[in-house]
Chain A
Amino acid sequence: MKKKLTGRIIPVLVVLIALPAPAREKLKVVTTLPDLSYIAQQIGGDKVETFAIAKGYQDPHFVDAKPSFVLKLKRADVFVQIGLDLEIGWVRPLLETARSSKIYFGGKGYVDASSGINLLEVPSGDAAQLRAKGDIHVFGNPHYWLDPRNGKGVAQNILAKFVALSPNAAAYFQKNYDNFVAKIDSAYAGWKEKMQPYAGAKIVAYHNSWPYFEKAFNLDIVAFIEPKPGIPPTPSHLVSVIKKINQENIKVIIISPYFDDKPAKSIAKRTGATVVKIAPSVQAWPNLKTYFDLFDFNLTKIITALE
């Protein structure tokens, strides 16, 4: 009887010990945005598993620091955030509650993806007056992932961390990184060509989240529906936007899905411009699974509206 039992127990133990082993080799990566998760997955391949806290259709500034995210963070080996002050309202409480020095600011597994990125709209002047201009980001506009070329910088920051944490797989990560960069370069060349006929096209945006996108694809955002970043539109401001659209014959108003589209529609009704909901992040809609889908989708929608 005893023998029988041990005979049964040993295989079970072997299975139990063997099971977690391969799982442990995978780096657990938690990112703030799904765009970062996508890029991390591209670099890490089958040696990492990723989880994004925010959904692609959520306003990344107003994500809630739900304690349930702490369960993911507590076990994470790597944490990647967009940085600057985009996630300022929720990343700090989450990292503090997670009690993991590994992924805490400055820890072994902490990645600020903005490191080395060329930032736009870095404010200068009197810091104490910044908020009079609306919800201005003190370190510069944080929506830099919307220029696909910055995706390479993000990938590089993630690569460096993966290599440092799993040096044995360095060559594998490097190869994935090279592939990703090559893919971005060729895709970007294609997008540029596609946008060539519309170079300098004037458009209107709801919120100031598109300066990197604008620069990458040679668009010209001439007005915002928000009078100041984060401040809801007033009728008098909308009047000035309508005038501008009529005068400059603007055809497109872009807006992220998480903003109220009523003011944009009111303007469209009076001007003939088209309201185009474009994706601020990967997975903003279920079919936008990759970083490349994001730009394919946005550019196609804008081109359709421009024509």
Chain B
Amino acid sequence: MNFRKFVWLNYWLILGVFFTLASVAGAQNPSSKKRGYFVSRNNKVVLSQSAAVDSGKTESELKSELAKELGVETAKKTSESETTTQQTSAARSDLFQNMNPNISVIGTVLGSANTMAALDRNVDLSFQEGEFSFQAAVDPYAKADFYIAFGKHGESELVPGHDDENDDEHGEGGLEPELEEAYITFLSLPLSTQLKVGKFRGKFGKINETHPHAYNFIDVPLVYSNFLGPEGLNDEGVGLSWLLPNTVFFQELTFQVTSGPAENMSFARAEGNRLLYLAHLKNFFDLNENTTLELGISGLTGPNNAAGDVTNMFAADLTLKWKPLRNRNRSFELLSEFLLSERSEPGNDINSFGFFSHLRYQFANRWFVGGLFDYSEFPEFSEFNHKAYSGILQFFATEFQKVEFHYKYNDGSFFDNFSEFKIRAVFVIGAHGAHQY
């Protein structure tokens, strides 16, 4: 037997064993017992389809009439065979009753185009990020959260004096794994406090704590990417949050002490043995059963070089939401954040400012339209600024996937104005996470 024959023989052998195993497994699969039930139900549906619908109207006429009436597109036909609902009564399933943490995987795909004359390449498609999250109770005292992302990190930025050529290296690189967040939270310590230890997104402003794929816009607001980097403030340390004994409205005060971000235009990690200190006060009011208002203030201070210089940052955030309890098809949201950076340098202080304002209106069950205005100076160069005007459209197919379009017109003091078009798809499988509020 020559070597080639030997390989082929093995190949067929393995294939044979595989199919035998597969057929045995198929026969044992409990779902196959159900098939009879589905088929009988299907037959009913199929049979009924052949009958006449409405006197004098063809099926397609009726369909388009209904589509017009409901204002929906004649969607692709959903397979009728899947419309049956299981009516089985059984003991509680043990499907999810194992000791694994809640696991989910989130995929983000991005398509982009721009009108920047200086670039060689103006269109791009990329798999932005695959994020794995694991969450579970550690014991009766604590819970733990892990987020591991495989993504393209260090997106190109428009910063005065920044060398564009370096950006391409990032853009064309592969997907690098990164431990995005990993922390333990002690949920109920004395005096209504909570302690968080690990690596986490800092509680600065409103959106910094949220993962960017959950934003209702594709581009991170300019003031955030310019002041804190495209990935926001995210580093290692401890945080203590205290629920104030205010019985009239919700107030939460948070202190975080962290080592400082590794690479950042505003801060330098642990330079001169100094750490980064953050404080945030969140105030939340119910204006009525449909409307809420959140006001937050944040302060952040840390070293920006080895010489003992410091950057102080302040932020104020305002979120107004109108979400009628009786109507899930309409809602409105206004989110504005203002950031101020005070950077001391040898013989010089630089004060810079930036803000963004986002409006979002839900006009149908699954559709949202939004607008975003951005203005930002730069922590190291307050004489330059970057403005942007954006229009956003979002479609949430279900709770588990969305598609978004973002058009952005960039107007800056150090570059020629240009437009950007982005489309992003975000989808999640696995454990059902908490809804955003």
Q: Do A and B come from one complex?
A: yes
Decide if B66 touches A266 in the complex (CB within 8 Å): yes
Are the C-beta atoms of B34 and A124 separated by less than 8 Å?
yes
- Chain A: minimal CB distance from B193 (Å): 7
Q: Point out the residue from A65, A96, A118 that lies within 8 Å of B437, measured CB to CB.
A: A65
Which among B48-56, B157-165, B384-392 touches the partner chain?
B48-56
CA distance A71 to B243 in the complex (A): 9
Bound together, the chains give a CA A237 to CA B437 distance in angstroms of 33
0/1 per residue, B392-413, Cβ < 8 Å to A?
A: 0000001110000000000000
A125 neighbours in B (Cβ, 8 Å) = 29-31, 34
- Encode contact with B along A196-218: 1 for CB under 8 Å, 0 otherwise: 00000000000010010000000
Q: Distance in Å from the Cβ of A235 to the closest Cβ of chain B? A: 4
Name the residue of chain A whose CB is nearest to the CB of B74.
A235
B247 (CB) vs chain A CBs: closest residue: A71
Name the segment of A51-59, A186-194, A289-297 touching the other chain. A51-59
Contacts of B77 in A (CB 8 A): 234, 236
Most chain B beta carbons < 10 A, residue from A55, A58, A66, A96: A66
Distance in angstroms between the alpha carbons of A92 and B83 in the assembled complex: 31
**Interface-forming stretch among A151-159, A163-171, A254-262?**
A254-262
Among the listed A90, A131, A227, A266, which residue makes an inter-chain contact with B70, where contact means beta carbons less than 8 Å apart? A266
The answer to whether A234 and B78 touch (CB under 8 A), given A55-B289, A257-B326, is yes
Chain A residues with Cβ below 8 Å from B292 are 66, 68
Interface presence of B24 (CB below 8 A): no
Measured CB to CB, the closest approach of chain B to A236, in angstroms, equals 5
In the complex, the chain B residue whose C-beta lies closest to that of A208 is B85
State A95–B82 Cα separation when bound (angstroms).
37
Report yes or no: B398 in contact with A139, Cβ–Cβ below 8 A.
no
Residues of B near A122 (CB, < 8 A) are 88-93
**B59 CB contacts on chain A under 8 angstroms:** 239
B342 beta carbon closer than 8 Å to chain A: no
Docked complex Cα distance between A64 and B324 (Å): 11
Chain A residues lying within 8 Å of B134, measured Cβ to Cβ, are none
Report the separation of the CA atoms of residues A270 and B78 in the bound assembly, to the nearest whole angstrom. Answer: 22
- Chain A, Cβ-Cβ closest to B294: A67
Chain B residues closer than 8 Å to A89, beta-carbon distance: 399, 432-435
Let me know if A235 and B289 touch, CB within 8 A: no
**Closest beta carbon of chain B to A80's beta carbon, Å:** 19
A96 in contact with B187 given A57-B326, A121-B88 (CB within 8 Å)? yes
8 A Cβ contacts from A110-148 to B:
118-128, 131-133, 135, 138-140
B91 touches A100 (CB 8 A): no
The reply on B64 being an interface residue by CB < 8 A is yes
The answer to whether A260 touches B365 (Cβ under 8 A) is yes
Complex Cα distance, B66 from A243, in Å, reads: 14
Q: Is the CB–CB distance between B325 and A58 below 8 Å?
A: yes
Which one of A5-13, A29-37, A101-109 is at the interface?
A: A101-109
Q: Are B92 and A119 in contact (CB under 8 A)?
A: yes
Q: Judge if A28 is at the interface, Cβ distance under 8 Å.
A: no
Closest residue on chain B to residue A68 by CB atoms: B286
Least CB separation from B64: chain A residue: A235
For A229-262 the 0/1 string (1 means CB < 8 A from B) is: 1111111111110111011000000000110101
Q: Hey, which chain A residues are within 8 Å of B326, CB to CB?
A: 57-58, 257-258
The answer, yes or no, to whether B414 is at the interface (CB within 8 Å) is: no
Q: How far is the CB of B376 from chain A (nearest CB, A)?
A: 29
B96 within 8 A of A: yes
Q: How far is the CA of A177 from the CA of B403 in the complex (A)?
A: 51
List residues of chain A with CB within 8 A of the CB of B328: 59, 62, 258
Chain B CB within 10 Å, residue with most, of A119, A122, A231: A122
Q: How many residues of A contact B (CB 8 A)?
A: 75
B109 to chain A, nearest CB (A): 19
Contact B63 A235 (CB under 8 A): yes
Asked if B53 and A266 make an inter-chain contact with CB atoms under 8 angstroms apart, the answer reads no
| 0 or 1 for each of B303-344: is its CB under 8 Å from A? (1 = yes) | 000000000000000000001011111000000000000000
Q: Are A228 and B83 in contact (CB under 8 A)?
A: yes
CA distance A98 to B193 in the complex (A): 10
> Is the beta-carbon distance between B188 and A232 smaller than 8 angstroms?
no
A303 at the binding interface (Cβ < 8 Å): no
Measured between beta carbons, the chain A residues less than 8 angstroms from B80 are 240
Per the bound structure, the CA–CA distance linking A141 and B314 in Å amounts to 48
Q: Inside 8 A of B289's CB, which chain A residues have their CB?
A: 55
| CB pair A138 B437 closer than 8 Å | no
- Residue of A at shortest CB range from B245? A74
Picked from B78, B82, B432, the residue with its CB within 8 Å of the CB of A85 is B432
Query: Which residues on the A side are within 8 Å of B31 (C-beta)?
Result: 124-126
Q: Does B284 contact A (CB under 8 A)?
A: yes
B63 cross-chain contacts in A, Cβ below 8 A: 235-236, 238-239
Q: Are B82 and A99 in contact (CB under 8 A)?
A: no
Q: Which residues of B from 76 to 103 have beta carbons under 8 Å from A?
A: 77-78, 80, 82-83, 85-93, 95-96
> How distant is A150 from chain B, measured CB to nearest CB, in Å?
13
Tell me, yes or no, whether A305 is within 8 Å of chain B by CB. no
Report whether B250 and A68 are in contact in the complex, using a CB–CB cutoff of 8 Å: yes
Identity of the chain B residue whose Cβ is nearest the Cβ of A270 in the assembled complex:
B54
CB nearest to A100 among chain B residues: B188
In Å, the complex CA distance between A211 and B87 comes to 8
Listed residue (A230, A231, A243) with the most chain B CB atoms within 10 angstroms of its CB: A243
Which listed residue (B62, B86, B143, B249) contacts A96, Cβ 8 A?
Answer: B143
Q: Are B70 and A263 in contact (CB under 8 A)?
A: yes
Contacting pair B53 A243 (CB below 8 A): yes
The answer to the question of A79 belonging to the interface, with a C-beta cut-off of 8 Å to chain B, is no
Give the residue among A230, A232, A235, A270 with the most B Cβ atoms within 10 A: A235
Q: Flag whether B194 is at the interface (Cβ < 8 A).
A: yes
Asked if A160 lies at the interface with its beta carbon under 8 angstroms from chain B, I say no
7 other A-B residue contacts (CB within 8 Å) besides A122-B90, A238-B66 = A64-B437, A67-B252, A123-B88, A224-B83, A235-B66, A258-B327, A260-B329
Q: 7 pairs across A/B with beta carbons < 8 Å?
A: A67-B250, A90-B435, A124-B30, A124-B34, A128-B429, A238-B66, A240-B48
3 interchain residue pairs of minimum CB distance: A125-B31, A89-B435, A67-B250
B→A interface (CB under 8 Å) = 29-31, 34, 45, 48-49, 51, 53-54, 59, 62-64, 66-67, 69-70, 72, 74-75, 77-78, 80, 82-83, 85-93, 95-96, 137, 140-141, 143, 185, 187-189, 192-194, 243, 247, 249-250, 252, 282, 284-286, 289, 292, 294, 323, 325-329, 365-366, 398-400, 429, 432-435, 437
